[in-house]
Amino acid sequence: MLGGPGAEREVSLRSGAAVAAALRVLGHAVSERDPRTPDWDLPAESDVVFLALHGIYGEDGTVQRQLDDLGVAYTGCDAEASRLAFDKILTKGRCLAAGVPTAKFAAVRSAAEPIPAGFSVPLVVKPARQGSSVGLQFVERVEDWSAALAEALKFDSEVLAEEKIIGRETTVGILGGKVLPVVEVRPKAGSYDYTNKYTPGSTEYFCPADFDAATTQRIQAAALGAFHAVGGRDYARVDVMVRADGSPVVLEVNTLPGMTETSLLPKAAAAAGLNYAQLCQRMIDLAMERTAVATVKKQEKVAAATLIMVSHVV
């Protein structure tokens, strides 16, 4: 499934096209579905749905709930973990409860609200439920606050305001419950916003990132902690800022990260020895293995119930 109705549709179409091409090279029969409207269907006897959707509908738990209702296996996190991770404010709350380091934050719901008490510039403002840096704003001066807030509120009814972390920007892929090598992101100019993220040549990537072993472990531990805090499964990508003293600060959890061949999760997988096609296959295997385990448990439950019934008859 690729495309969808959200603001990240074009990115999702590119992710889905790359995944479909890789799966066909591996010999799979692949049928592409674009759930732009609610009347989509699936081919009969589908083994698994590979979710290459991003943003609203695809990443917020909606399509996951629909696939659960259909009893169809799909890649990635379940509906509840997707819902939690897609909401940056809920994710922050889960991280705090789990002791995962994250930036100081506040929820803002009106363009008329002042800068939250106890906060000072610079700040980062972003829609609570969007991805791919959609609506991301940086507030360097107090007088920029109102305009930044109004722009972010165009994309959601609730906005996350958080302290701007000064340091190195990294992301950590998680696959099958294990952390992948850290990727460092260095925009050549400005911040890692939507433009720098998707304009070829505007950002440099380093994987494995050049941190000492102890700092690398702290970054990976924070990422894995955030993944567990939202109830993640199979895979995700966690964005982490690293302060000058080497302390990590989790920004957010991406449950369906970009899957073009130049996206960050594939870069991390490549550094771990998995090429793009192998990464796609691993994602399918994780979903299929989970389905197989569920089937066995269901069979065991039916067998146990049958045994009880027989013993009662005897």
* Domain residue limits, the chain: 104-163, 168-271
- Any idea how long the chain is? 314
d(CA 127, CA 156): 5
What confidence category does residue 301 fall into, taking pLDDT thresholds of 50, 70 and 90?
Answer: low
Phi, psi (rounded to 5 degrees) for 6: -85, 180
What was the pLDDT predicted at 76? 97
Question: Rounded to two decimals, what is the model's pTM?
Answer: 0.88
| Structure-token pair, residue 250 | 């989790």
Residue-level pLDDT at 187: 82
Domain 104-163 has CATH 3.30.1490.20: yes
74 is catalytic: no
Task: Specify the fold of 168-271.
Answer: D-amino Acid Aminotransferase; Chain A, domain 1 (3.30.470)
CA-wise closest residue to 48 among 227, 177, 234 = 234
* Residue 239 known to be catalytic: yes
E-strand spans in the chain?
Answer: 105-108, 123-127, 137-139, 159-163, 168-175, 178-187, 203-206, 235-242, 248-254
Stretch 237-254: mean pLDDT: 97
Question: Does residue 80 carry a catalytic annotation?
Answer: no
Of 9, 94, 129, 237, which one is the catalytic site residue?
237
Which residues are CB-neighbours of 159 under 8 A, at least 6 positions away? Answer: 107, 108, 109, 125, 126, 127, 128, 149, 152, 153
Query: 58: burial class by Cβ within 10 Å (0-12, 13-18, 19+)?
Result: buried
50-109 tens-digit pLDDT:
999 998 899 999 999 999 999 999 999 999 999 999 999 999 999 999 999 999 999 999
The confidence score (pLDDT) of residue 197 equals 62
Active-site residue, 252 included: yes
In this prediction, residues 129-151 reach a mean pLDDT of 90
Amino acid 199: pLDDT: 59
* 254 labelled catalytic: yes
- Predicted local confidence at residue 292, as pLDDT: 73
196 part of the active site? no
Q: Distance between CA 75 and CA 138 in Å, rounded? A: 34
The C-alpha R_g of the chain, in whole angstroms, comes to 21
**What single-letter amino acid sits at 129?**
R
Q: Average pLDDT in the 218-245 region?
A: 98
Assign 314 to helix, strand or coil: coil
User: How far is residue 290's CA from residue 292's CA, in Å, rounded to a whole number?
Assistant: 5
